[in-house]
Structure 1
Amino acid sequence: MAIITISREMGTGAYHVAREVAKRLKHTLVDGNKIIELAPQFGLDPEILKRVDEKPPVYITAEDRAHAAHLNTIEIILLECAKKGNVILYGRGSQDLLAGAQNVLKIRFVAPFEDRVESLSEREWIDPDLARELIRKSDHQRGGFIHFYFNRDWHDPLGYDLVFNSARMSQSAIIESIVAAAKDPRLKDGDDETDRLIDEMILCKKVETELLRSNAIENIHFRISVKQKAVKLSGHVHSENEKRETLRIAAAVEGVAKIDDDLQIVNYKSYKE
């Protein structure tokens, strides 16, 4: 059955729908709580996870590189869950992370701003002005995350298969629509290809994560791609030592069978502000 991804604006009631759909389809709901539960298995501290989750890095300082490495680990968790099948991936850019997969049903929840304010303030028993501020910041952060990390407009409807205005449709109608869509036999056509794609993405993310964690590599100005178990590195590094360390780190990652080296050395003097 299809992997389901859910993108949501705050205050649309998407989480309740996701839980009900998971029950109906007997899917695992991979939300923030599930990621926190799985985080220690991937060496990710739950407290760090809360600080970086759905927040874009800027790749300037060592702390930013650590932030990016933690985000990669979250993506590895999502991909490992997707590989098992029968899952709903809730938020975290899952629809873009799995953009090349054919058996993914991509859902988006929207609603007018004031409807979301009313819904959030009633649900959380908070002042409407506070709800407005929380929603405004949430939209900015999540939209910025998608734009920075996946170079896509969060609001672009072509990034999704179904877009629901939760102010116009009842939750029961939305649930029935998603359950029916998830059972579309055409979504099963890409199962085998999706398995291969996910395996390659996981290996690519593992290599990138180890490189981000290294103090010997100043910046990742090169492309990492994987075909089967062969990792190709193309682009440029800044010294012979950096190239040597890059190749060594990549080759040491579990699952890498071969390294294709297409790295060029470009010397430069870093500019200090």
Structure 2
Amino acid sequence: MAIITISRGCFSHGKDIAEAVAKRLGYECISQEVLLEASRTFDLPEEKLFASLHDAPGLMERITHVRQRFIDSIQTALLEHVVKDNVVYHGFAGQILLDGIDHVLKVRVIADMEARINLLMQRQQITRDVAVARIDREDEERVEWYRSIYRIDANDPRLYDLVLHIGRLTVADACDIVCRTATGKSFQATPASSSALLDLALTNHVKVAIKDVCKADIRCRDGIVHLRVKGQKIKASGVAGPEIQHQVQDQIRDDLYQKIIGLVSSIPGVKEIDCAVDTPYTV
């Protein structure tokens, strides 16, 4: 049992390989479906979720971190989808969104530019110039997306367990290699790796659930959620005395605690909540 992510440039046969691998192994094959799940679960516009994985963020998005909030929602939906294992994911950024899980096999599929151009021309009946422009644009956007958000080069082979060059290697050859690797001992789920995946999925869900309420340090282990919220800054009143100020601070802390407990307790898989909220401080 494994999870396979397939990263590829557009028109490099990555989708074909993903579908062939899933069919041979009897795995589920997913891509854009995870956007629909995130949209339904977190009540977010599907088009904005798609843009968050496709377009590089503008200056305002970088300042407000709006893009990261969408990506966190997508990552949460993906993690909760793959906890059952036996999944091939060929959507965007799988090698990043599922990083750190030992039984995830990360594959990169590449192809020569000329082969990609010919494939696009054939599939969409367009001219060579149009095909070249489209592939160049898509490649540039993906490079900028990874650079601006994660400060990495998506073509760096160190991000992957396998890099397959489709050319002399056919789609069938690539399928054979991925299947043999995925069914080998190195990428089989263990109790430890499965537990780590469940913990990561729950941690992400809690993070997204409270994102509009506060920031918190979150750790999850076997369904037990540990949260630590640092004291919030509040503006001191020049009218109220110290006793009233303390009452207000305590009320703010208690209200925040209750709101967090209400949101987190409704998340599937949560067994226990250990939540500490520091007292707000005046400035």
Say yes or no: TM over 0.5.
yes
Gap runs ≥5 in structure 2: 235-248
| 1:128-161, Cα deviation, whole Å (9 max, x unpaired) | 2222222223223333333444443211111111
Secondary structure class of the residue paired with 1:6: strand
Report if the CA contact (8 A) 1:5-1:88 is conserved.
yes
- 2:135 is matched with 135
Q: Distance in 2 between matches of 1:174 and 1:153?
A: 23
| 1:43-98, Cα deviation, whole Å (9 max, x unpaired) | 34434433333445569469965543332222122112210111001132222222
Report if the CA contact (8 A) 2:218-2:225 is conserved.
no
1:114 aligns with 2:118: no
Aligned residues, how many?
A: 261
Larger CA deviation: 243-252 vs 115-124: 243-252
Q: Distance in 2 between matches of 1:57 and 1:145?
A: 7
Aligned-pair distance for 1:106? 0.9
The residue identity in structure 2 corresponding to 1:192 is: P
- 1:226 is matched with 220
Equivalence map 1:76-155=2 (5 Å): 76-155=76-155
- Across the aligned residues of Structure 1 and Structure 2, the Cα RMSD in angstroms comes to 3.4
| 1:155-195, Cα deviation, whole Å (9 max, x unpaired) | 1111111101113311111111111111102322x432222
| 1:206-250, Cα deviation, whole Å (9 max, x unpaired) | 222233334xx5xx5x65443442334477854479977765554
1:257 aligns with 2:272: yes
Taking structure 2 as the reference length, the TM-score comes to 0.76
Secondary structure class of the residue paired with 1:138: helix
The residue identity in structure 2 corresponding to 1:258 is: I
Sequence identity percentage: 23
Q: Distance in 2 between matches of 1:11 and 1:120?
A: 6
Alpha-carbon spacing, 1:191–1:236, altered in 2? closer, same or farther (3 Å): farther
Q: Distance in 2 between matches of 1:237 and 1:204?
A: 22
The residue identity in structure 1 corresponding to 2:197 is: I
Alpha-carbon spacing, 1:213–1:235, altered in 2? closer, same or farther (3 Å): closer
Alpha-carbon spacing, 1:231–1:136, altered in 2? closer, same or farther (3 Å): farther
Who wins on radius of gyration, i.e. which is larger? 2
Larger CA deviation: 122-131 vs 77-86: 122-131
Report if the CA contact (8 A) 1:4-1:107 is conserved.
yes
Q: Distance in 2 between matches of 1:226 and 1:131?
A: 47
The residue identity in structure 2 corresponding to 1:141 is: E
Report if the CA contact (8 A) 1:250-1:256 is conserved.
no
Report if the CA contact (8 A) 1:204-1:225 is conserved.
yes
Report if the CA contact (8 A) 1:59-1:65 is conserved.
no
Q: Distance in 1 between matches of 2:218 and 2:135?
A: 36
Alpha-carbon spacing, 1:243–1:53, altered in 2? closer, same or farther (3 Å): farther
Larger CA deviation: 13-22 vs 192-201: 192-201
Q: Distance in 1 between matches of 2:143 and 2:255?
A: 35
Larger CA deviation: 254-263 vs 105-114: 254-263
Q: Distance in 2 between matches of 1:51 and 1:30?
A: 18
Taking structure 1 as the reference length, the TM-score comes to 0.79
| 1:244-266, Cα deviation, whole Å (9 max, x unpaired) | 77655543313273345487979
